[in-house]
Structure 1
């Protein structure tokens, strides 16, 4: 069934209003549907002369900051009361976390670990010619109770956190750590990344029991951590039943909407818990209202800035001059809660600085038409761009990447081997419908590879689209249909070495996933991706953040089907969601 969303907005407005407020609420609902937290009153006035501010400031259903009314006007913005409460409380919780820590005591404890830090975790690296932001982030996070670490793929967010965990557990072996991410897929990748980091640390002179403790940590979804209650929007853990953890590490934070961010931080003990938020501020924002992680990084306080005292203290741990924090990062001490709490990891250790995925993704982000044109004119070993006229040929060729002859999984006989290969290749679509959308492309790939007669078939790749905690599967989880002894079951990877299966009937909602939307790919990595762009430029959802997210899902090879004009247009369009979060910190 299709719904007329504008009619829904109008009906909602009419439910509350029989006068001039109706139009204001209709505009507010449209903004919320587009991912904004509120409506910019002045921008709306410029757009529609029928809107009158007198209605807002005199209507009985509209209040100000302290009022318990359905709609709130605050700082020239119109909110639903619920979203205003979420935003204000979130800022308050973060401010409390930023103010609760014994800096002097923690400095002494770091000094006691100086040999471990300087010679084992972060030995001098002559090949690194810039500030060692990983070491800076690690030391800074030890000192702070609230930390944001942003960085693109391969910048070492997980490596940094793994070394921080060593420091924290060496300092307090009884420290209780919780790891979580917004989706099951992102949680699994977080788990795998930390496990891989622990393998690399095993060769260092770190006590085995510390390595063992970190290796045993289990990453979960935020919903699982908070205690999902079936059929309810509430969780078991909240401000009246706080999480019992000393350290909370949250990955893929750009995917978290305002509502979930609020509920997560409401459940944190701000007097004793250390919170570390990881993510890429340049990625797509959440599907629902809010771009909280980006707002915290871009709209509140300048990243990578320190007082002279903090800069001097951290630099004392860094031996090589080129790896120290530079004077350009010095900022006069101020009272902003987030000052010295925001770190951006700038160096990618996965991609080359002068070519390929790293350069192209940055060019898209910065709308650098000159560099984009270079990639359009000439392919290289990582980036290849095709015109939409080549769609049929390229898709047919690319679909063979799913087969074992091309390092894929179709044709393999071991479910362990199959699950290990499902992240080799994927087709990423900017839209769901139409010739270049997910539905049509999945149908095409199915016909090319299988021409199936049944709903379920051997080697079918599926994605769960509804949380089912009772079955340990969540929205975004990937599974494979595989026939063992005549029984078709859906297999899921629990870890690198473990898997579990469900019958198809146990999965309430799913879709075939040879192709998926770019939104659905967040939190995943693939060896190779094929990105399919539509042939119409008139779509406000086609933004540089969308294309950047798609490109950076790939570790090795990116192929794009899309006309040059479309790629230039996408690079020009940026996500800009309206919120008042920054104002709550400065007010």
Structure 2
């Protein structure tokens, strides 16, 4: 009989000397005339095939010192018994001193240390052998306990990795503990409820352990939806689904008294860990506002340099800076914290180039950062275009290279850490020279990233300034929490306290561009009160199609178009349209990335690939063929490739540098401005995938000639909302085409932007009041 073991059902790979027991089902297949059996479940056993039977057999044969097969392999092969000075000969001698193998195992199981010390004639070896046995025993017990508890396979695996051999003892004392480990433990509450009713654990309904577990469950379920706080009403409703209503007040009071949760200034509830993270940001931002009040840089000199750049910009672009751009630059250069926002195409990047120009003249370090690699690259391209990136000498011979001043947020954090370890490294961050850090696409910053960045700088920089620039109408962060959007709203109401500027004049797509006009209408519906709407906005809100053009009249001209079609036809229509416009000029965008959805990026890419390769019998390499559209999903600095970079596979080549050397397989990828050869290692490091269809989130920071936005009727309007439609619109330079269910489009436009639905405890205004920086 041959046995096939499915590792998917195991929590760890088998180690030497471990025995696994499987229940099998005959699949009635013949392989080499032997029935094949398929393992359907598996668990580790401490005992072997029949330890008791084997012991009895040895004793009848007068081999009372002989260990059963499994036990012998366990003692001689398991990693826990290695390196403790208890080899085969010493174990056999210890067994003889005890009297028999059975007696030796009994002393071991009962934990009789004195007997084992006598058996090994050594305190150290006796303790080491007993400890090794107990560790293995605890490990096996923990695995069996998890298996029987009812956790899903992924949760069980994670629990054992986190808690190890102490899993059983920890979960027995508090079965609700995994809930606090985060949202990855999907069925932790249900399992805890089953375990607490067992005779071994027996936790009563009103136990503080259970009540705090319910509180944690509500907090982490909300966190999974990016909420860092929960309103009192929703908090109570969520608790009532877990515990009896009579216990809700007791649970809340218990958690407050034990500091498991706290209340925000608005009366909402939140976990203390999340409250601490938000308070770190609040205090850091408030302190920067306070420092700016105490002493600003000389404004006359700043004004003069901004006007100097204005003349430079006029020569470069043919037009001058607007007053809005000058204000953004001035606020950034004269405050330790400034907030700025504006629609796409309003000249934010040019204003940032002005900031860099002035910093160059003042010999002040300035760094420009973005969450996404493609956004970071776009900022750097604008700085290069405006000729404000300086050259630095690299040696005594006068050789030089351009400075590195643009980073992803994660990249800058890494560079700061490298600088702290070695201040003399190339590209060291000048932490002691009052550096200015400008964030672009700040709408993408989630709470954890802001906390990590500010904590690092507050600890290691004597003084630094940050400017957070973005477009509030863009989609909210993928991670939990919202910071920048709240700072924008506070700055708009209190510009004298929170330095704030807004850019409204559009440059990129020009006045009268239909895409810009529709995007502005979407923005207005999502962000202004109805009392502030004009008649056109009211009409657009009621029927967005009044501002869109039917796709049947599309001949390639600029505009926003729509096509009402059923879900079953969406992907095929998107493919035909993309072929008509050009695969390299158009981009299909969908709300979904989950492969289970019929209109996900996976489904779109599969459909496009099947149709593209049908007519051409193309060779493939690592799943890619000549002509495929691909996207980089992980930053890879050594090839100057960043998350969001797109390309076409121009060729597949096989290179051999020297005779006798291995042949190197490579993809020849044509990016917008360069050709890159990608080998297998780089293919993995860049996270290369097909990009015929990408999510709306993935498009942020990118631009395309044409975007085709899919709106299936099955779409949840709580997921596709105002900011998603706005983001999809503003990715287009020529035309945006919506295909699918137009009722979904109407409901999405009229829904609240995502960040407005996220409940947080972040309250910079309250912190400013506490520091007497803002009047009531």
TM category (shorter chain) comes to 0.7 to 0.9
- Greater relative contact order (CA < 8 Å, ≥ 6 in sequence): 1
Q: 1:197 aligns with which of 378, 382, 386?
A: 386
Residue 74 of structure 1, CA deviation:
3.5
Quote the residue 1:320 is aligned against: none
Aligned counterparts of 2:740 and 2:538: Cα–Cα separation in 1 = 16
Q: Which moved more, 1:496-505 or 1:261-270?
A: 496-505
Q: Which moved more, 1:150-159 or 1:380-389?
A: 380-389
Structure 1 pair 53/510, CA: closer, same or farther in 2 (3 Å)?
A: farther
Aligned pair 1:74/2:264, yes or no?
A: yes
Aligned counterparts of 1:562 and 1:113: Cα–Cα separation in 2 = 51
Q: Which moved more, 1:13-22 or 1:287-296?
A: 13-22
Quote the residue 2:31 is aligned against: none
Aligned pair 1:265/2:427, yes or no?
A: no
SS of 1:516's equivalent in the other structure is strand
Aligned pair 1:459/2:459, yes or no?
A: no
Quote the residue 1:489 is aligned against: 666
Residue 393 of structure 1, CA deviation:
5.5
Quote the residue 2:248 is aligned against: 52
Relative to the length of structure 2, the TM-score reads 0.59
Aligned counterparts of 1:428 and 1:351: Cα–Cα separation in 2 = 21
SS of 1:549's equivalent in the other structure is helix
Contact 1:39 1:78 in 2 (8 A): yes
SS of 1:153's equivalent in the other structure is coil
Residue 549 of structure 1, CA deviation:
0.9
Residue 160 of structure 1, CA deviation:
0.3
Q: Cα RMSD between the aligned structures?
A: 4.0
Residue 18 of structure 1, CA deviation:
3.7
Q: 1:32 aligns with which of 219, 223, 238?
A: 223
Quote the residue 1:302 is aligned against: 492
Aligned counterparts of 1:30 and 1:400: Cα–Cα separation in 2 = 43
Contact 2:644 2:702 in 1 (8 A): no
Aligned counterparts of 2:192 and 2:347: Cα–Cα separation in 1 = 47
Aligned counterparts of 2:733 and 2:696: Cα–Cα separation in 1 = 15
Structure 1 pair 34/219, CA: closer, same or farther in 2 (3 Å)?
A: same
Contact 1:36 1:577 in 2 (8 A): yes
Residue 32 of structure 1, CA deviation:
0.7
Aligned pair 1:444/2:607, yes or no?
A: yes
Residue 503 of structure 1, CA deviation:
2.5
Quote the residue 1:580 is aligned against: 761
Deviations 1:443-472 (A, max 9, x none): 111122224674121132333445667876
Structure 1 pair 507/228, CA: closer, same or farther in 2 (3 Å)?
A: farther
Aligned counterparts of 2:341 and 2:188: Cα–Cα separation in 1 = 36
Residue 155 of structure 1, CA deviation:
0.8
Aligned pair 1:90/2:281, yes or no?
A: yes
Aligned counterparts of 1:87 and 1:238: Cα–Cα separation in 2 = 26
Residue 92 of structure 1, CA deviation:
1.2
Contact 2:309 2:357 in 1 (8 A): no
Aligned counterparts of 2:192 and 2:376: Cα–Cα separation in 1 = 39
Q: Which moved more, 1:251-260 or 1:44-53?
A: 44-53
Quote the residue 1:222 is aligned against: 409
Quote the residue 2:554 is aligned against: none
SS of 1:366's equivalent in the other structure is helix
Q: Which runs of 5+ in 2 are unaligned?
A: 1-7, 9-151, 156-183, 197-206, 393-399, 526-536, 552-556, 656-664, 771-776
Deviations 1:257-303 (A, max 9, x none): 111111112222565222122211111111110222212212x3326
Quote the residue 1:289 is aligned against: 480
Alignment of 1:151-550 (within 5 A): 151-170=342-361, 172-173=362-363, 175-198=364-387, 216-227=403-414, 244-245=430-431, 246-269=435-458, 271-298=462-489, 300-302=490-492, 306-307=495-496, 339-367=497-525, 368=537, 370-371=539-540, 372-376=544-548, 381-389=558-566, 391=570, 394-400=573-579, 406=582, 409=584, 424-432=585-593, 433=595, 434-451=597-614, 454=620, 455-466=623-634, 475-486=643-654, 489-490=666-667, 496=673, 499=676, 501-503=678-680, 506-507=683-684, 509-550=687-728
Aligned counterparts of 1:475 and 1:208: Cα–Cα separation in 2 = 26
Aligned counterparts of 1:492 and 1:274: Cα–Cα separation in 2 = 39
Q: 2:335 aligns with which of 140, 144, 151?
A: 144
Relative to the length of structure 1, the TM-score reads 0.76
The structure with the largest helix share of the pair is 2
Deviations 1:27-61 (A, max 9, x none): 22121111112222343235665372442232388
Tell me which structure has the larger Cα radius of gyration: 2
Structure 1 pair 477/77, CA: closer, same or farther in 2 (3 Å)?
A: farther
Contact 1:465 1:476 in 2 (8 A): yes
Aligned counterparts of 2:732 and 2:233: Cα–Cα separation in 1 = 41
Aligned counterparts of 1:364 and 1:512: Cα–Cα separation in 2 = 30
Q: Which runs of 5+ in 1 are unaligned?
A: 64-69, 230-234, 308-338, 410-423
Residue 551 of structure 1, CA deviation:
1.1
